[in-house]
Amino acid sequence: MPNSSSALFGLDGIVVESVRISPDGTRTVAVTTAPQWVGVCASCTAVSTRSKVG
> pLDDT tens track of the chain, all 54 residues?
456 666 666 777 788 888 899 999 999 989 888 888 888 887 888 888 877 675
32 Cβ partners below 8 Å, 6+ apart?
14, 15, 17
What does the pLDDT read at residue 26?
96
Q: What is 1-54 written as a DSSP string? A: --SHHHHHHT-TTEEEEEEEE-TTS-EEEEEEE-GGGTTB-TTT-PBPSS----
Q: Indicate the domain borders of the chain.
A: 1-54
pTM of the model: 0.56
One-letter amino acid for residue 27 of the chain: R
CA distance 17 to 2: 16
